[in-house]
């Protein structure tokens, strides 16, 4: 067949178009033309990149008979390429045709005339046949007439274009919600044509359709056909630039929810040409254009790597929900304009701002101030809206945040009430309940963490647990350097602690009087804890197998003088468990969060064991310890082996360099 034949050329898809093979696998066209290794070198083939990488056979290159390689196209996802013959794929159908296939006309012949399915029988116990009855076909058909529906789902129907516009308008004119996920759409012009025929459209899903980058705004998108559109889902659409998303924002001025996950918008700062403040950070007062009504934005898995990119969305006036899951963001760096900071400082000086001054509020250059959290959202007191002024929910799971200071800084979001935060390096060594408690304690206004409500009791427990940890840090900082401390005075230690932990003073004011603190670190100016010199009643509870049936024992103990090691001796007598087999943990009251008593030399007051506390006695899992030791040993051996390989490679490199230098010197001497 002549590859130049016009009838055949009309059947070949364009570069960037979408096709589906005979097994239902969708692919993007990367090449159209002859292939040198084919039996008929002049026959046109199409080179495709499959959506499913496992379906591919190569990366767009073929090996010629002489052993050399010839590349016809490049795959975005490595080896997901293949060549398909004409006739072995489909370029899809129109939406109008899909509607005709999926929805039966009211006047079409019934499948079950007289409520009996033809040639369909069930065997009876006596070996006979009984006809299968099907009731309600007419009733179901009446409810499925497209001209009466407001919701239409056409997933995986191989739709690649709008089709006959009059027929589409007649069938889809009443649609409010249209789902076109996982089809063969590749051109935004076709999406605009579909939208133009659905005059009432408010919700549109075109996820998992791989779109080409348009040269400009397609004419159909500038027709005003989607002024009513409120919700747009474009997840996994092969978008490679924020400019494509911005185009959609202009197309749909009433957009309230945008779901754009699994695309690449890492160029957002360059696209919006974001002005920067004097310290080189985005000012947060300008950013992405359009989207004035946007309430929810999903940018999960969009290749974001820094808060500067996130800051491009900080001035969206209505944005209340922001999803940033599974990106590579490493920090949170909120910026407040200088005027906002000045206003907040003035409010504090005249007594209108009761919040403590955080040591983490670091003055920037002339352009702005880092809002590292005062716990009160002080920037909102200015006439200028703070960054993300309306943001009430943010999700940062699966990023690369390695410092709790980033969570502290989230308290600078004045409207924040909900946080999802898991799968970050800073939480890697913590259980789900521990990381949740850490987030709750650091964010005073949050009412929902990791999809669960935060109750008043849970908040108080989390804040007290956090305060105990801070108290131990305070004690440690005041110890002499020969004991591993820093040798600071109480005032110095408190100042440094308040700088690193913005809520320290606030939490002490809330819970300090109700907790047992003793020793030289007690207090922020107080002379010792309220119960440091007295006795505390503690309930000892055994969870060990040898004594789990023993009733809990209540004891009055001297918190300021009894060490954990001595308490273990007491537990040995009560519960018949050797001290080296004990793991003690403590909670201030039944149901509260547990903290481990992990230092035998420290007193109970060091761990804030107070009146009414419970101490739980667990048994060490020796097998787990052995497994942990073996894992640590293997990791250490792996590190040593890697160091040796590196050293050998470096030695070989140096020897090679010496040999090369010697040869060069000898050659020079010979000349």
Task: Write out pLDDT tens, residues 253-268.
Answer: 999 999 999 999 999 9
Beta bridge partners of residue 619, listed in sequence order: 582
Which among 337, 341, 304 has a CA at the least distance from the CA of 322?
Answer: 304
Q: Pairing relation of β-strands 321-323 and 393-395?
A: parallel
- DSSP 8-state secondary structure symbol assigned to residue 43: S
Q: Which span out of 143-157, 195-209, 326-340, 646-660 was modeled with the highest average pLDDT? A: 195-209
Using an 8 Å Cβ cutoff, are 91 and 85 in contact?
A: no
Using an 8 Å Cβ cutoff, are 511 and 460 in contact?
A: yes
Task: Provide CB contacts within 8 A for 283, sequence distance 6+.
Answer: 274, 275, 276, 277, 335, 337, 367, 368
Mind listing the domains of the chain with CATH numbers? Answer: 6-91 (2.30.30.190), 94-108+133-264 (3.80.10), 296-454 (3.80.10), 466-524 (no CATH)
Based on DSSP, count helices (H) and strands (E) in the chain, helices before strands. 16, 29
**Helix 432-442, helix 456-478: angle, nearest 10:** 90
Q: What is the pLDDT of residue 533?
A: 45
Q: What is the pLDDT of residue 659?
A: 61
The CA distances from residue 484 to 382, 478, 480, 606, 607, in Å, are 45, 10, 7, 16, 18
The predicted-structure confidence for 372-430, as pLDDT tens digits, reads as follows 444 444 444 445 668 899 999 999 999 999 999 999 999 999 999 999 999 999 998 88
In the predicted model, what is the mean pLDDT of residues 349-368? 35
With H, G, I as helix, E, B as strand and everything else as coil, classify residue 76: coil
pLDDT at 73 exceeding the cut of 60: yes
Higher pLDDT, 652 or 305: 305
Which among 452, 364, 362, 437 has a CA at the least distance from the CA of 407?
Answer: 437
Quick one: CA torsion of 445, 447, 449, 454, rounded to 10 degrees? 120
pLDDT at 281 exceeding the cut of 60: no
pLDDT at 108 exceeding the cut of 90: no
Using an 8 Å Cβ cutoff, are 619 and 544 in contact?
A: yes
Question: Predicted confidence band at 664 (pLDDT cuts at 50, 70, 90)?
Answer: low
Q: What is the pLDDT of residue 292?
A: 92
Question: Predicted confidence band at 106 (pLDDT cuts at 50, 70, 90)?
Answer: low
Task: Provide CB contacts within 8 A for 513, sequence distance 6+.
Answer: 530
Higher pLDDT, 143 or 220: 220
φ, ψ of residue 473 in degrees (nearest 5): -65, -40
Q: What is the pLDDT of residue 527?
A: 39
Say how far apart CA 110 and CA 23 lie, in whole Å. Answer: 31
Exposed/middle/buried for 634, CB within 10 Å: 0-12, 13-18, 19+? exposed
pLDDT at 657 exceeding the cut of 70: no
pLDDT at 487 exceeding the cut of 80: no
Q: What pTM was estimated for this model as a whole?
A: 0.73
The first and second tokens of residue 118, run together, are: 């033809």
Q: Which span out of 144-153, 158-167, 213-222, 482-491 was modeled with the highest average pLDDT? A: 158-167
Say how far apart CA 341 and CA 344 lie, in whole Å. Answer: 5
pLDDT at 495 exceeding the cut of 50: yes
How far is residue 269 CA from its own chain's centroid? Answer: 20
Q: What is the pLDDT of residue 84?
A: 93
Question: Predicted confidence band at 521 (pLDDT cuts at 50, 70, 90)?
Answer: very low
Q: What is the pLDDT of residue 393?
A: 98
Question: Predicted confidence band at 531 (pLDDT cuts at 50, 70, 90)?
Answer: very low
Q: What is the pLDDT of residue 468?
A: 85
The predicted-structure confidence for 569-598, as pLDDT tens digits, reads as follows 999 999 999 999 999 998 887 877 788 888
Question: Helix, strand, coil % (nearest 5) of the chain?
Answer: 35, 20, 50
The first and second tokens of residue 250, run together, are: 């202009």
Q: What is the pLDDT of residue 631?
A: 78
Got the DSSP string for 135-185? --HHHHHHHT-GGG-SEEE-TTS-EEE---HHHHHHHHTT-SEEE-TTS--
């Amino acid at each position: 067949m002549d590859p130049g034949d016009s009838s055949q050329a009309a059947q070949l898809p364009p570069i960037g178009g979408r096709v589906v093979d005979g097994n239902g696998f969708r692919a993007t066209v990367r090449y159209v033309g002859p292939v040198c290794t084919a039996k008929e070198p002049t026959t046109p083939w199409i080179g495709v990149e499959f959506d499913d990488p496992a379906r591919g056979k190569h990366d767009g290159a073929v090996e010629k008979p002489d052993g050399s390689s010839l590349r016809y196209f490049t795959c975005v996802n490595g080896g997901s390429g293949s060549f398909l013959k004409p006739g072995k794929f489909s370029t899809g159908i129109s939406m109008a045709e899909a509607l005709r296939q999926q929805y039966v006309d009211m006047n079409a012949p019934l499948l079950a005339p007289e409520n009996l399915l033809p040639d369909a029988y069930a065997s009876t116990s006596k070996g006979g046949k009984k006809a299968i009855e099907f009731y309600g076909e007419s009733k179901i058909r009446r409810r499925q007439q497209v001209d009466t529906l407001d919701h239409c789902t056409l997933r995986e129907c191989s739709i690649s274009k709008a089709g006959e516009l009059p027929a589409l308008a007649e069938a889809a004119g009443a649609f409010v919600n249209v789902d076109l996920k996982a089809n063969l759409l590749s051109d935004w012009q076709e999406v605009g044509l579909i939208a133009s025929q659905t005059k009432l459209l408010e919700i549109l899903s075109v996820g998992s359709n791989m779109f080409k980058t348009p040269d400009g705004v397609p004419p159909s998108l500038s027709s005003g056909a989607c002024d009513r559109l409120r919700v747009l889902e474009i997840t996994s659409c092969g978008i490679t630039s924020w400019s494509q998303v911005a185009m959609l924002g202009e197309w749909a001025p009433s957009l309230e929810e945008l779901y754009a996950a699994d695309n690449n918008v890492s160029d957002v700062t360059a696209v919006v040409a974001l002005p920067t403040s004097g310290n080189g950070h985005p000012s947060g007062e300008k950013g992405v254009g359009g989207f004035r009504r946007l309430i929810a934005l999903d940018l999960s898995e969009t290749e974001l790597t820094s808060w500067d990119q996130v800051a491009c969305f900080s001035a969206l006036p209505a944005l209340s929900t922001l999803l940033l899951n599974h990106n590579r963001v490493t920090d949170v760096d909120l910026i407040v304009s200088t005027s906002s900071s000045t206003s907040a400082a003035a409010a504090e000086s005249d007594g209108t701002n009761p919040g403590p001054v955080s040591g983490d509020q670091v003055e920037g250059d002339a352009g702005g101030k880092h809002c590292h959290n005062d716990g009160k959202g002080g920037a909102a007191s200015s006439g200028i809206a703070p960054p993300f002024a309306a943001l009430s929910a943010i999700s940062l799971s699966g990023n690369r945040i390695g410092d709790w200071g980033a969570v502290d800084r989230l308290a600078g979001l004045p409207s924040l009430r909900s946080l999802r935060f898991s799968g970050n390096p800073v939480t890697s060594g913590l259980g789900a309940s521990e990381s949740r408690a850490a987030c709750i304690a650091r964010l005073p206004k949050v009412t929902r963490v990791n999809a669960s409500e935060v109750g008043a009791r849970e908040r108080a427990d989390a804040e007290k647990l956090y305060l105990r940890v801070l108290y131990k840090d305070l004690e440690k900082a005041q110890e002499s350097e020969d004991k591993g401390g820093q040798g600071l005075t109480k005032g110095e230690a408190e100042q440094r602690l308040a700088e690193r932990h913005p809520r320290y003073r606030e939490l002490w004011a809330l819970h300090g009087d109700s907790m047992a603190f003793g020793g030289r670190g007690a207090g922020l100016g107080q002379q010792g804890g309220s119960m440091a010199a007295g006795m505390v009643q503690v309930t000892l509870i055994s969870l060990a197998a040898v004594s789990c049936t023993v009733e809990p024992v209540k004891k009055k103990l001297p918190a300021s003088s009894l060490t954990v090691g001595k308490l273990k001796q007491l537990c040995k007598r009560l519960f018949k468990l050797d001290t080296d087999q004990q793991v003690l943990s403590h909670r201030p009251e039944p149901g509260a969060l547990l903290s481990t008593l992990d230092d035998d030399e420290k007193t109970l007051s060091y761990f804030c064991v107070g009146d009414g506390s419970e101490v739980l006695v667990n048994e060490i899992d020796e097998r787990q310890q052995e497994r942990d030791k073996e894992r640590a040993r293997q990791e250490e051996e792996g590190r040593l082996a890697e160091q040796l390989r590196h050293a050998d490679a470096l030695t070989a490199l140096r020897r090679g360099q010496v040999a090369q230098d010697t040869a060069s010197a000898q050659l020079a001497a010979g000349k």
